[in-house]
Amino acid sequence: MPAMRLGAAILLLSAACWAAPAVSQKSSVDVLTRGQEVSSAVATVTSTAISPLLGVCLLGIYDYTRTAPEARAALPFYSRPHFWIPIGILLLLIFFKDSVGGAVPLLKKPLDAVEVLIVNKAALILLAFPVMYHEVARLTGIRDIASLVVPPVYASTPGALETAGHIGTAAAMLLAGTIITLVVWVVGHAANVLALLSPVPYFDLGVKLFRAAILLTVVGCAIVNPTLGLIASLIVIGVSAILFWFALRLLILGSVFALDVLALAIAGRTASPGTSIRAFTMGKIQGIPRRTLGRLSRDANGILEFRYPRMMFGPARRVRLEDAAQYEVGRGLLYPSIVLPKGDTHELQFRLLPRYRGSEEEVRAALGMSAVRDLGFGKLMKSAKASAGF
């Protein structure tokens, strides 16, 4: 329910703020033209937020090719060849990593970690946000962002109230655009986190291609008809709002994993576990949300306990689980897991950080678990599906 309310609120906010300039026009022709401009702007912001590198590269190429040569000097920086050509080369290198590099996952994972920690977040700040601001500036004619924060003081002129209202509308559009960009980017970023977490070769490539297909669908709809592009964008925004908290937990998980993978690659050794082990939940365990970061430990009576912060950053909560001896440590290809045996099969409970790979026996002894078992390829498939929330 909270996610649904958040989705409805974002949809209403984006529709009201981005459509406001269209309503202010006087003639029906102006309203129609303005409405198409707003629809194109929403589609541009949404598509670049889904995947900033690919979205901005396509936008830059599109703007450059359809602009007359004498007018290209006025294009924004991301629409010029000296910018989108290097971005295109970077995209080809990432595709090469995800396709050919998928055959050697242990060598590929540090590159995935760099993409999660640095490349994607830099693309959000340096690409997605500038595109959003440029669209707001194009629709409102306000080029100085400072005027949206501290509106200029006008003398008592007849148009003072109208000017203040125009600046207020632009500020509301900027706020709505920021919210839309963040929400859509967080959900789109989940594809990169799944690429980092997945132990299955080429599963990550499929997830990224699916994200690219969504982006191309929004772009294609906007090119065919601006209204169709607006509808496709609003669908993406609404779905992203519903999935936001799911994707935000995945983002935190991915950042922690990426730091661990890079530390492991640089240090070249695993960590020695102490009395508490850092872990993420794999599913809803006693009401704990999926992908919750916390610490596993064993109390004086041999009961496994999981401590995690409420609301991800609040005071810690302790949850008592089963007897620690009922659990086993699963030895995976990229990271260990905590499993609960169920006859000939097992149920995945917790995912440990990569720092514990190679220290499974020490983890078992620290937590008082019964055994260490190898997870076969079929179990890895199950783990990958669980990571995606299936």
Mean pLDDT value across the chain: 79
Look at residues 227, 229, 226 and name the one whose alpha carbon lies nearest to residue 216.
229
Contacts of 187 (CB under 8 A, 6+ apart): 239, 240, 243, 244, 247
Counting residues of the chain whose pLDDT is more than 70, the rounded percentage is 76
Mean local confidence (pLDDT), 102-107? 70
User: Could you tell me the pLDDT band of residue 48, with boundaries at 50, 70 and 90?
Assistant: very high
Rounded to whole angstroms, the Cα distance separating 228 from 247 reads 26
* Domain limits, the chain: 2-263, 270-387
Give me the helices (H) in 243-359, please. Answer: 244-267
Residue 311 pLDDT exceeds 90? no
The pLDDT of 150-161, averaged and rounded, is: 44
pLDDT greater than 50 at residue 160 = no
Rounded (5°) CA angle 377-379-382? 115
- Predicted local distance difference test score (pLDDT) of residue 6: 52
Determine the pLDDT at residue 101: 72
Lowest mean pLDDT among 142-146, 307-311, 358-362, 377-381: 377-381
Look at residue 212 in the predicted model and tell me its pLDDT: 93
Q: Confidence band (pLDDT; 50, 70, 90) for 280?
A: confident
**The pLDDT of residue 373 is above 80:** yes
pLDDT tier for residue 57 given thresholds of 50, 70 and 90: very high
187/6 Cα distance (integer angstroms)? 14
* Whole-number Å distance between alpha carbons of 5 and 10: 9
CB-CB contact of 222 with 40 (8 Å): yes
Segment among 40-54, 86-100, 154-168, 328-342 with least mean pLDDT = 154-168
User: 270 falls in which pLDDT band (50, 70, 90)?
Assistant: low
More reliable by pLDDT, 153 or 114: 114
Q: What is the pLDDT of residues 24-34, one digit of tens each?
A: 444 555 555 66
| The pLDDT of residue 105 is above 90 | no
* pLDDT over 50 (residue 54): yes
| Non-local CB neighbours of 93 within 8 Å, separated by 6+ positions | none
pLDDT of residue 156 exceeding 50 = no
The pLDDT of residue 260 is 85
Would you say residue 350 has pLDDT above 70? yes
Span 188-216, mean pLDDT? 86
Confidence of residue 143 (pLDDT cuts 50, 70, 90): low
C-alpha–C-alpha distance, residues 78 and 75, integer Å: 8
Residue 123 has pLDDT above 70, yes or no: yes
Per-residue pLDDT at 44 exceeds 50: yes
**Inter-CA distances, 154 with 48, 159, 177, Å:** 36, 9, 27
* Number of residues assigned to the chain: 390
Cα 341 off chain centre by: 33
State the burial class of residue 159 (Cβ atoms within 10 Å of its Cβ: 0-12, 13-18, 19+): exposed
Confidence check: pLDDT of 35 > 80: no
Architecture of domain 270-387: Roll (2.30)
Q: Report yes or no: 46 and 27 within 8 Å, Cβ to Cβ.
A: no
A 10 A CB-CB count for 106 gives 10
d(CA 165, CA 317): 47
Asked if residue 154 has pLDDT above 50, the reply is no
